[in-house]
Structure 1
Amino acid sequence: MTRSKQGQLSTAKNLDLNNITENETSALQNKIYTPKSTAGKDFKKDGTCYAIDLYPPYTITAGPTYTAYKFNILQHLTALSPYFETNTNGLSPDPSPGCTVVKAAYLVRHASIYANDYDYENTLYPFLQRLKNASSSKHVNFSCALDLAFLATWTSPITDSKEEMEKLTKSGGLEAFNFSTQLAYRYPHLLPMKKKNESSFKVWASEANRTKQSANALFAGLYGGIQEDMIGQVMVIAEGEEQGANTLTPHESCPRFSDTAGSKEAGIWLKYYTDPIIARFAAMGTRFNFSANDVLAMQELCGYETVIRGSSPFCPIFTPEEWLSFEYYFDIKYHYQLGYERLSVS
């Protein structure tokens, strides 16, 4: 990536914004932009931009451990990451030579959804409303903010929250279908055979929409989507405290579970790691007063928008270190909500 004398950017190569190296990230953070037609004009008078460095150094970062390592944003979104397989150094799921798998049990999480109720109500919706109000204000101007310029015309990927909330995206259905197709090739001898009429074969699911839809897509994938070949059924299990030992949604039968547990502790880290980000965004001159919750919403939208639209302009505006901080935010939250720290709460 290079700069012309007029301060404009010219891209030396196309960047995969979901897989960027440390050097490429550094280049993105130190670019300068001034449209030719407005060079030297006053921003305050006509809304155009000066040629200024929008990214002054604010932290010292270490280089990658291995020169071949490439940071993949979509692998650091915690529960919001689309499905991916971890690096197992070539380990095979096949049994040892001379052995045969006679039984297999998989506990599978639901596939990618539009958004969950908690994230939407507490994080996404407040930011989307603030952004909507700002778009109608003459005071806020994103058009010259470089990495944030897309916010001037960006629209939410969630267009009908009542209809879409907690439901699978198209890519989510494909995830579940593809995963079960792999299982069908891996364990063909375990699938029921039509000639034996093995109708006892079942896929169990909790009653949430996202889980039922995932189970149906998974069930279809086992048979390549061929309806007449499908044997068995999807069994939906009711959720609730009265169910006792609920193995599909165990938190429903745990009286000590709380959705808000860990929010206070994670909030301390959220303020710490978002302060430099807010300062960087403020230096862009948008006059939008970003909050810590706004930053969290933007990072969550990277994941949600990607599985809805296929990509998101929110993903490349944060550094790898900021994505790791986002990931650690949820580590803290879940440690106090579902992890060992919860055991110490009376």
Structure 2
Amino acid sequence: MAIIIIIPVLSITTGLLTAMATAEATCYKPRERHGQCRHDPYRLPSVLFGTKTTYRHATGLHTKWASRARVPGCRPLLLMIFMRHTTRFPGKKDLKKFGERLPELQNMILNASRAGSGTLCRQHVNSLRKWKYNWDESMENRVTSSGIRETGEIASRFRRMFPGLLPSRFYQDEYVVRATSKNRTRDTAYAFLKAVLYRKELKKFKRERALVVDDDMLAFQSTCEDKLEKQGVNKTESQEETKFLDSAMVQEMMQAMSRRLGVNVSTDDVRLMAKMCAFEVALRGWSPFCYLFDKEDLDLLEYAEDLDDYEEDAYGNERSVALGCLLVEEMVDKIREKLRTSLTGGASFHTHLRAALYFTHAAVMKSLVAKLGLGRAAPPLRASNYCRYRTHRPWRSSRLVPFTANFALVLFQCGSSQLTVLPILNERTVWLPGCRSVFCPLEDFLRSSVVQSSRNCDPEKICSKDWNGRGRPE
């Protein structure tokens, strides 16, 4: 009898696994247009493009308004913000590729349409026909006017939430402001402060050269890569991303794109057009290249980038996660500066520090998010589980690290002596590991794995080729 019972169970299990595998391979279904536009032909198929997503599209926040953060019985003492630079123009390599290849693809697609090939609708062909490439290398990585405006809106909202921590007058002992040596982070810092300080106070800030450049802390990913390269360790491409791009689903998408455009396009061509779509949406709100895609196509390409981010800069890279200790250590140090006595002692203060502002890059923000234990996927993101994570996944760079992404930690005094921290990611409170709620008693935060694993932070050891992932070289 036991055998009779077991065999059907195994058969059912095998059948279920087969069905799941089939579903995994077929959750992408290309939509054939047959020359017909949607009811709303100029609606963007997607606004989520990984790290090239605008903050407004990632969060839905696009005004200066925010309500004051009120915690009964508590008052805010210190605000620390780590912020990615705001929306920028493409880098030098992308500008070169755009200028060389996109006009060629534009002509190929338009010629195919005239010859009756492809299935693009008339409105989308007309939009592509009017497109002209007018960017040059002088625009390389420059922040955009829309990004400056968006940064100002974020600063205004934080000021409304915590008015006493972002004063309009600048004093060296009340503000700490650091950025990297790249213009885009410094310009973002100035845009933030412009929305907070009086005009004459911003001039004073610049005159006193109060912005400190700190690449060791805020550009540690590139610094570490340089050190490893000198030791003969070169950065490798994401294996999961490569597997995914070679998968049957992505190849089916490539065939659907070629039919739709009327020309055979390579994976590099498709990714280049999608990247231009992302940048133009970020810079001006729309792009004719977006209309060449369906939402399902862009979802696949977004997932490919998430695989790369997850594997290279987050949970798939122990070294990257470990380097986040630099930022956690900085948070603890600033809390220490604020308190006169021991970290877990009384709430007596010896500095006037109110705000510590740090402006950095996407790779560092990804490392910080992972170090904080946020966005961890179980099972991990893999090339084989797109269908599982297609609509909802813990790690989605579009939501976690868009342009102007930010993580804030606010220190509160509650009652006469209780100290509490409140973590905020992209203006939404988050629950950190080791904390009982989003409002985390300082002693719990200091005992958490996030802080304990950041003690004795040593980037020199972490960036040694012999580092074993446990905090010391072999």
Fold shared, TM-score > 0.5 on shorter chain:
yes
Higher strand share: 2
Structure 2 match to 1:149: 125
Aligned counterparts of 2:318 and 2:181: Cα–Cα separation in 1: 28
Aligned counterparts of 1:145 and 1:86: Cα–Cα separation in 2: 34
Aligned counterparts of 2:305 and 2:51: Cα–Cα separation in 1: 9
How far has the Cα of 1:126 moved from its partner?
5.5
Structure 2 match to 1:291: 266
1:295 partner letter: V
Give CA deviations for 1:123-152 in whole Å, capped at 9, x if unaligned. 6455325326748x9677488742552475
Counterpart selection for 2:276 from 253, 277, 301: 301
Aligned counterparts of 1:127 and 1:163: Cα–Cα separation in 2: 19
Residues 212, 236 of structure 1: 8 Å contact kept: no
- Do residues 331 (structure 1) and 303 (structure 2) align? no
1:216 partner letter: Y
> Could you say which structure has the greater relative contact order, defined with CA pairs below 8 angstroms and 6 or more residues apart?
2
- Do residues 251 (structure 1) and 225 (structure 2) align? no
Aligned counterparts of 1:202 and 1:153: Cα–Cα separation in 2: 50
How far has the Cα of 1:236 moved from its partner?
4.3
Pair 1:154–1:264, CA change in 2 (3 A): farther
How far has the Cα of 1:248 moved from its partner?
0.9
Pair 1:271–1:314, CA change in 2 (3 A): farther
How far has the Cα of 1:329 moved from its partner?
0.6
- Do residues 94 (structure 1) and 69 (structure 2) align? yes
Residues 68, 162 of structure 2: 8 Å contact kept: no
Give CA deviations for 1:149-195 in whole Å, capped at 9, x if unaligned. 247524355x233111111111111111111111222222123464x
How far has the Cα of 1:340 moved from its partner?
3.3
Pair 1:162–1:193, CA change in 2 (3 A): closer
Aligned counterparts of 1:249 and 1:156: Cα–Cα separation in 2: 35
Residues 134, 288 of structure 1: 8 Å contact kept: yes
What's the RMSD between the two structures over aligned residues? 3.9
- Do residues 198 (structure 1) and 174 (structure 2) align? no
The answer to which of 123-132 and 296-305 deviates more is: 123-132
Structure 2 match to 1:208: 182
Aligned counterparts of 1:249 and 1:162: Cα–Cα separation in 2: 23
- Do residues 127 (structure 1) and 101 (structure 2) align? yes
Counterpart selection for 1:282 from 258, 262, 266: 258
Aligned counterparts of 1:219 and 1:251: Cα–Cα separation in 2: 26
Pair 1:214–1:156, CA change in 2 (3 A): farther
Residues 106, 128 of structure 2: 8 Å contact kept: no
1:203 partner letter: V
Structure 1 match to 2:11: none
Task: State the TM-score, normalizing by the size of structure 1.
Answer: 0.64
How far has the Cα of 1:204 moved from its partner?
1.5
- Do residues 268 (structure 1) and 238 (structure 2) align? no
How far has the Cα of 1:227 moved from its partner?
1.3
Give CA deviations for 1:320-340 in whole Å, capped at 9, x if unaligned. 332221121112212332223
Counterpart selection for 1:73 from 46, 58, 71: 46
Aligned counterparts of 2:195 and 2:160: Cα–Cα separation in 1: 11
Residues 305, 312 of structure 1: 8 Å contact kept: yes
1:176 partner letter: T
Aligned counterparts of 1:92 and 1:262: Cα–Cα separation in 2: 44
Unaligned residue ranges in structure 2 (runs of 5+): 1-28, 39-43, 320-464, 467-474
- Do residues 168 (structure 1) and 140 (structure 2) align? no
Counterpart selection for 1:340 from 297, 301, 315: 315
Aligned counterparts of 1:138 and 1:72: Cα–Cα separation in 2: 24
Residues 115, 166 of structure 1: 8 Å contact kept: yes
Structure 1 match to 2:54: 82
State the SS of the aligned residue for 2:179. strand
Residues 142, 152 of structure 1: 8 Å contact kept: no
Pair 1:331–1:262, CA change in 2 (3 A): farther
1:170 partner letter: S
Aligned counterparts of 1:247 and 1:142: Cα–Cα separation in 2: 56
Residues 259, 337 of structure 1: 8 Å contact kept: no
Aligned counterparts of 2:186 and 2:53: Cα–Cα separation in 1: 20
Give CA deviations for 1:256-281 in whole Å, capped at 9, x if unaligned. 48896334542331243442233223
State the SS of the aligned residue for 2:299. helix
How far has the Cα of 1:86 moved from its partner?
4.4
Structure 2 match to 1:4: none
Aligned counterparts of 1:247 and 1:267: Cα–Cα separation in 2: 31
Task: State the TM-score, normalizing by the size of structure 2.
Answer: 0.49
Aligned counterparts of 1:319 and 1:329: Cα–Cα separation in 2: 16
Pair 1:251–1:267, CA change in 2 (3 A): same
Pair 1:328–1:282, CA change in 2 (3 A): closer
Aligned counterparts of 2:239 and 2:90: Cα–Cα separation in 1: 22
